[in-house]
Structure 1
């Protein structure tokens, strides 16, 4: 039966043990993940953002560099066209009144340098075009003196001028490069027009990068050169020149798509070069790198996650095995201690029972001797003999009662009976124990009794009879420890949701070795025959059955204090 009970108790303990390690494994795993993964994730996010910013900046710088490179190429192209036209003044066949053949040779000469040249014209100091070669012969003899480009050329400090795209007399978009040259008293002008379509093809040839779109706008935002699919010449562009010039690269939405736009102002003409590229292409490298970084980050997190799981599982498995071994060893030690205690208990029981049994045996022999003729006894029982026998039998009865008392106390110390709990005020209960006979005995023994009660002490749930027995046992022990002339202090105080009853004496005290054994059955510090050593074990069982505990403080020569701690009744708990 006992073996079955032990196994039944052991099973929940084992389950609690396993549940504890299951919870510990989860908590340790969660804490490790927080400690390792969160900083890793935060660092990954930080570096991811910084890397994206740098890649984005790199893409913008690349586009800006492309715009500046194209700007320099266009400026160089225009400078070469100006040089081509200026060289006509220095040809050997140059004449102030050129004939048609000479003008045709001029146009042929220009076409050798660039197929963007459409025609060529020569103007006298009055702005009259006296020589022309090209597809618009009706322009020969036209007066250009009132044209904006002509007047701008005449006012300009440099000897050439490049106009915006305009329709002019031919009513077709084109732009003019004009060069002035003073000859004698007057200033003559050689001008040539360039085809915007051919100029756009030139832009296409110098464009670098995938899906790069180039266009030219003037300072009013009108297209000068543009892809026909993107806009029309002289039409208003969606770009604000001032906003573009204020920033190197801007993000711009065009036809529902986001574009990255860089701009660069030309030096030869007040135009703005616009270089645009769709964001998904401009940031393609960034997006690809982002995907790689995210995949790498997820992989690293999974690796760390797995490593944490395996490490914590292995460590906790070892800790669980170690704890199981420790518990097994503790169980074996406890079992050995129980065997030792049983041995000591058996020795105590044998010693205590042997004393009354020896008395019984001795008295039985005396009775036998009374009736034994060999020792002067008589078979006839007279009055004197009967009286003598009754005296001996009384001694035998006393020894039997003593033995029975020992066995009852032994059974009481080993039996855990459920206390009958009721609300009780400890101040009143202590007074019930000491008032009357016990108080008079203390006065006779010159022992001062001090009562130190808290008047606001709350009620506790306890068995009045059992608790009265505990207080009485502790007071009796204090009296025995003092002997004569001393002081016993009974104190009752509240400590949070607990009540503490202290029984202190000024007796001889106990050593550390004695303190470790006082709750063992049959251990006593009293003189032989004055104590059974069962009072304190019984008291401890009673207090623990009520959810309390007993603590002891003692030093040799400084007295002893027993502190009983019991929980306050639920109805009077604070908080």
Structure 2
């Protein structure tokens, strides 16, 4: 969960709007869908079970009534006196109930005294026993007794029913053999639907009737699992069980279909919500992206232009506030640019004598070689050959090039420019800076060394960075009386350019360190500083997005540390991202 929150906080607003839209639409919809699916499933299951119970109750009642009616007819027969129990009474009972196969009168030992049968001879055999195992004991305890299901000579399932017969103080019995084909046919032909099935078990758990004839007479335990919906109904008196079962996959097929249809609808709904969320994301973030673009332009000192206010909501007010802020920042930048230009002019004024000497020396060399060459040409000096002439001209060309380099660097340094992004080669910037301060270094016999690692070319304003270096090195030169050292080092650490400038000057006291970046604060004597140098350096480094700090100890020297984040970009047709060796 923490990872998801962290990921969301790092995403753009339009992505958050999309995720929020999907979350607020899909999650409630899913919860509602699962809630109704769960309760609909339970309700359907209860309804199916209620329907199954009702069907089994009706069948159970119907079977019980049929056996009770047969039992009632048989009891009525036993109420007749012996002379009245004629064959016609027996045949009449057979005619009334087609399921009865035979009717018997039994003596007190359970032997057949009289038989009227549809398929057997009516004359009983000597000592012919009729009761099945346990029937006689049941009959002594109850008013009727049923046997287990048996198979007759025709291969049909039958059951025996016996009731007591009281005659002359002796307890005899009357019984019937009932065919079960009618009951079996009724159960086998019953159809609620294609998937459900109904079957009848006897007291021993054997299947008497089943819709699948291959399962007849198999022993079956009624175990209602989680995959089956089913109910069980006992048939009173017979100790039989009616069972109805239906697989849940079939029973719940309608709601599964409904749920699948719902998922399709939800997918379409999700697509619609996604499109709306994407539109809303772009609608709400478009002005924010415009603000971001305008802020980046301001960051790189491009000219500020007012953004159009196209809305009257909070974002419109934000754009208005941004326009007001941009005007104020633009005015502040103009003041800062004036300060930077003032600092340049002040630095040029302080270095004017240095520039004069730097330019005067090569001009003097040019003048000397030119006059000497002219005199020798006019005097037709025979010793002047082509080799010596080339030497004169090379000296003149070298010193003229030196003058050109000095004046070019001087013009570049003094030129007033806005922030201009170009490729910065830090080694080249340092060499150009040394050219501007070389005379001052030689005058005080100061040794300047530089140690740079592999620093790639990176984007930024090279002239602004050169101004920072000139200001810091000039401060170091001013702090050294004579015979000192200035060391420049630079390394790249995790896309952070770390530049350090250390001198062996007199240092700055702890009391003055908190104020060194304040405008117009200076520790130099009158006429040697304006107090803008380090303040301007601080502002320029901030424009680079970096930091500058100063560490100093009185009598030991000062170290200026500059850290600038650089973003190496590979661009077609550009050397950005290439490492300088």
TM-score (norm 1): 0.57
Matched, 1:411 2:394: no
CA contact (8 A) 2:456 2:578 kept: no
- Is the partner of 2:498 in helix, strand or coil? strand
Summarize the Cα distance change of 1:273–1:29 in structure 2 as closer, same or farther, 3 Å threshold. Answer: same
How many residue pairs are counted as aligned between the two chains?
Answer: 457
Structure 1: distance between partners of 2:127 and 2:265: 70
CA deviations over 1:166-188 (Å, ceiling 9, x no partner): 34356544333222334346442
Question: Could you tell me whether the CA contact under 8 Å between 1:63 and 1:262 is conserved in 2?
Answer: no
Which residue of structure 2 aligns with residue 501 of structure 1? 500
Deviations 1:135-175 (A, max 9, x none): 44x44123496667544321324342223443435654433
Task: State the shift of 1:84 in Å.
Answer: 0.8
**In the alignment, which residue of structure 2 is the partner of 1:445?**
none
Give the Cα separation in 1 of the matches to 2:541 and 2:335: 25
Q: Secondary structure at the match of 2:82?
A: coil
Structure-1 residue corresponding to 2:284: 315
Q: What CA RMSD, in Å, does the superposition of the two structures yield over aligned residues?
A: 6.1
Matched, 1:551 2:538: no
Q: Quick one: structure 1 residues 283 and 218, their matched pair in 2 at CA, closer, same or farther if it must change by over 3 Å?
A: same
Q: Deviations over 1:266-323 (max 9, x none)?
A: 4423433232447676335534553565466456645654654454344324544757
Q: Tell me how far 1:506 sits from its aligned partner.
A: 1.2
Secondary structure, counterpart of 2:198 in structure 1: strand
Any residues of structure 2 matched to 1:231-246 within 5 Å, and which? 231=213, 236-237=215-216, 240-242=219-221, 244=222, 246=223
State the match for 1:368 in structure 2: none
Q: 1:49-102, CA deviations, whole angstroms, 9 ceiling, x for partnerless residues? A: 7447635643663366346525752563256236414532553x3327832123
Contact 2:548–2:560 (CA under 8 A) maintained in structure 1? yes
- For the structure 1 residues 330 and 460, does the alpha-carbon distance in structure 2 shift closer, same or farther, using more than 3 Å as the test? same
What is the rounded CA distance, in whole Å, between the counterparts of 1:59 and 1:177 in structure 2? 37
| CA deviation after TM superposition for structure 1 residue 121, in Å | 3.1
Unaligned regions of 5+ residues in structure 1, if any? 1-22, 252-259, 356-403, 443-450
Question: How far apart are the structure 2 equivalents of 1:306 and 1:536?
Answer: 54
Q: Does 1:153 align with 2:132?
A: no
SS at match of 2:88: helix
**Contact conserved, 2:101 with 2:177, CA < 8 A, in 1?**
yes
Say which of 104, 116, 125 aligns to 2:108.
Answer: 125
Query: Residues 428-461 of structure 1: CA distance to partner in whole angstroms, max 9, x if unpaired?
Result: x9xx99998677799xxxxxxxx9x9x9x85656
Partners in 2 of 1:489 and 1:96 — Cα distance? 149
Do structure 1's residue 99 and structure 2's residue 82 form an aligned pair? no
- In structure 1, what is the equivalent of residue 3 of structure 2? none
Structure 2: 5+ residue runs without aligned partners?
Answer: 1-10, 290-314, 351-406, 459-463, 569-576
Residues 98 and 131, structure 1, Cα contact 8 Å, conserved in 2: no
Cα–Cα, structure 1 residues 476 and 51, in superposed 2: closer, same or farther, change >3 Å?
Answer: same
* 2:49 matched residue in structure 1: 61
Equivalences for 1:470-485 in 2 at 5 Å? Answer: 473-477=471-475
Partners of 1:87 and 1:479 lie apart in 2 by: 137
C-alpha distance 500-70 of structure 1, shift in aligned 2 (>3 A): farther
**Which position in structure 2 is the counterpart of 1:254?**
none
Question: Does structure 1 conserve the Cα–Cα contact (< 8 Å) formed by 2:105 and 2:115?
Answer: yes
Alignment of 1:273 onto 2:232:
no
Secondary structure at the aligned position of 1:174 is classed as strand
- Correspondence for 2:122: 140
TM-score (norm 2): 0.56
CA gap of 1:45–1:263, structure 2 versus 1, over 3 A, is: same
Cα distance in structure 2, aligned partners of 1:337 and 1:33? 42
Tell whether the 8 Å contact from 1:540 to 1:549 is kept in structure 2 after alignment: no
Q: Give the superposition deviation at 1:190.
A: 1.8
**Closer, same or farther: CA 175–490 of 1 in aligned 2, 3 Å:** same
- Per the TM alignment, residue 241 of structure 1 is displaced from its structure 2 partner at its CA by 1.9
**Mapping 1:363-512, distance limit 5 Å:** 408=411, 411-412=414-415, 414=417, 422=427, 458=453, 460=455, 473-477=471-475, 496-497=493-494, 498-501=497-500, 505-506=507-508, 509=512
Distance 2:105 2:203 in 1: 29
Instruction: Determine which of 174, 180, 198 is the counterpart of 1:214.
Output: 198
Residue pairs, 1:58-97, within 5 angstroms: 58=46, 61-62=49-50, 65-66=53-54, 69-70=57-58, 72-73=60-61, 76-77=64-65, 80-81=68-69, 83-89=71-77, 91=79, 93-95=80-82
* Distance in 2 separating the partners of 1:343 and 1:406: 20
